[in-house]
Amino acid sequence: MIDETELTRCPDVDLIVVDRYQTRIAFQVDDWNATTLLACISEDPRDWFELEGIWPRYQIGPSAEDLASLNFIDLNFTVALGKLSEKRAWMTIDLTKKRICIGKSNDPIERDGNYAFGDDSGFGPEFQIPMHLPPWWELHCHVELSMVLQTRDSELKVRKPNREILWGPELSKDLARRMFSCFVEDETLRELLAQLASDFSTLEPSGASDDETVRRLNEMRNQVVSRTIAVHRDWLMTPRSDLGGRMPRECLHGGVDWIDHVIDGHKSRVSGGDELAPLPLSIANDPEVPMGRSEVCLYFDLCRELIESGWLYLSLHSGHARSSNMRDADEFVKYLADVKKSWLCMPYEGGDSPASIIESERHRMPRVIEVGHGVIDCDCPICEMMSAGDFGPTFTGIDGHHLELDEEFAFSLHETREEWEQKQCEFAQMSMEIEQNQIAERRSGGEEDDEFHSVWKNSYVSQDAIPGDSGGHIGISFLLADMIGSLKNLGAQQDIDDLNSAFRTYRNAGQFELVIATKDFQQVLENVAQHHSELVSRSADLQHRLDELERKA
């Protein structure tokens, strides 16, 4: 039930919206609709028409059905501004200057946050709306009306991604030129590629071996990888005239965190079963909108794919390449362009294609794993529950950790070198602390035999109910995954299969089947304990938890 007093907790607001075409004003807009309008700015609209298209993405609960319902009227800017008063709550949104000004009578607004409406039912307020302003928008709270007439505090500067350069023909041309030159001038590289050409999977680093042949192969592999990194780094870090003197790396950054926040903000709505309204095509198809995390990560992967494919091409065409024939160089560029075209359409890690992933992110839509798909580990009960939809919608994304593995600032998701160096120091400090703790633990003989020490090695699940998990299945799945991890190390596949089968039957049991399903599950746990003495305590704890759940059912 909505608490109607919520509407009067904050004053009604007089609103002005300015775009390049017109000034519009609405009077006495209630707090929730004013907040909904502010939330729409998260998508960086450029004019009133885009703002109208964005409204359905944020309309929820008591929000008006559409922007027209707020009764805005067209007025001359000076006349509209004259209608505002310091004695009333007011707000101006300038879509051209990317600037929000809020009067002294209003509650303060944060750039990033979730705004709530309605009673807290124990699972959060009845309605929540996310707001994440783009980094180039200015927000001025508790200011006087004169602030509206002042210029921005900083120059309006949106980092352009220059996709036509970074994703276009210039990428293939630049990489081909760098690789071609390296191949012609570096005799060691030619010898390495000739030896590795028969099995290019060896380009991926792996651990060393005592076997002399494998050791030498690893050394060659790592030398080629170092040249791959150099070519990739030089492409990203070299200023270009067609980018106005900027480096390609600079074009990748400027919007990653903002787009992350916007997409994450929409996940709660999708989780609640609501259909998310599409982003206006004028925004989604705008080539000058900054790249998000997925696009930046996929760009890294594409560059590596092109370079590794390029080494293979050069090794197989070494005679032509060493002649430096311009026609052969053009063929090389064409080959890389074809690789890029094919790669964009191929499944990425067994899922959607890179082109599809990028398009979804450009539309700022959370990517949901369809029920029955996306099982990461067929032996993991948590993955099986996720695949079955037992946790509700399961979202997928690309976190970008692999961009940090080369320990090179050029590839990092950190926008500035200062941020990257600070994070490197934090990682080094963390690694040192972990190592010191491990040394101290070894010296003390390991963990103390404490009667209160948990029997679980990698999991902790409270005996208290998890919200939304009335059957206790989520808690059981995490503990069962702990046991299965140990069984995997023991090679006990039959026990793993038996546990997963019993848990599946238990989860799907109806009210009258639950007693039998519980006993069967407990019997399988008992069998595992008999087969593996190191799992006795965990088996006993799980059986006890099943008894508790049965009594509460």
With CA atoms as reference, report the closest residue to 175 among 293, 33, 50, 308.
308
Q: What are the domain boundaries of the chain?
A: 4-149, 163-277+288-396, 416-443, 473-552
The mean pLDDT of 162-167, rounded to a whole number, is: 97
Per-residue confidence (pLDDT) for residue 391, from 0 to 100: 64
Lowest mean pLDDT among 100-114, 142-156, 307-321, 450-464: 450-464
Ranges 160-169, 328-337, 347-356, 523-532, most confident: 160-169
Q: Which of 70-84, 148-162, 381-395 has the lowest mean pLDDT?
A: 381-395
Place of tokens 């938890």: 545
User: If pLDDT is split at 50, 70 and 90, which confidence band does 7 have?
Assistant: very low
- Helices 169-185 and 293-316 pack at an angle, to 10 degrees, of 40
pLDDT at position 523 over 80: yes
Which pLDDT score is estimated for 507? 85
The number of beta carbons lying within 10 Å of the beta carbon of residue 302 is: 18
Counting Cβ atoms within 10 Å, is residue 237 exposed (0-12), middle (13-18) or buried (19+)? middle
Residues, the chain: 553
What is the model's pLDDT at position 452? 39
Task: For 289-412, list the strands marked E by DSSP.
Answer: 367-369, 394-396
The pLDDT assigned to 450 comes to: 44
Q: At 119, is the pLDDT very low, low, confident or very high (cuts 50, 70, 90)?
A: low
User: Rounded CA gap, 338 and 340, in Å?
Assistant: 5
How far apart are the C-alpha atoms of 363 and 341, rounded to whole Å?
Answer: 21
What is the average per-residue pLDDT within 523-552?
Answer: 89
Look up the pTM and report it: 0.79
The whole-angstrom separation of Cα 122 and Cα 8 is 23
Asked whether the beta carbons of 19 and 46 are under 8 A apart, the reply is yes
Q: Please write the tens of the pLDDT for every residue from 400-459.
A: 999 999 999 999 999 999 999 998 898 888 878 877 877 776 676 554 444 434 567 666
What's the average model confidence in pLDDT over 143-166? 94
- pLDDT digit string, tens, across residues 212-269: 767 777 787 888 899 999 999 999 999 999 999 999 999 999 999 999 999 999 988 8
d(CA 115, CA 62): 13
Please answer whether residues 496 and 488 qualify as being in contact, where contact means their C-beta atoms are separated by less than 8 angstroms. yes
CA neighbours within 13 Å on the CB side: how many for 217? 19
Least confident residue range of 158-162, 237-241, 313-317: 313-317
Please determine, for residue 200, whether its predicted confidence score (pLDDT) is greater than 70. no
How far is 451 from 461, CA to CA, in rounded Å? Answer: 18
pLDDT at res. 343: 97
Percent of the chain surpassing pLDDT 70: 84
The pLDDT score that the predictor gives to residue 94 is: 98
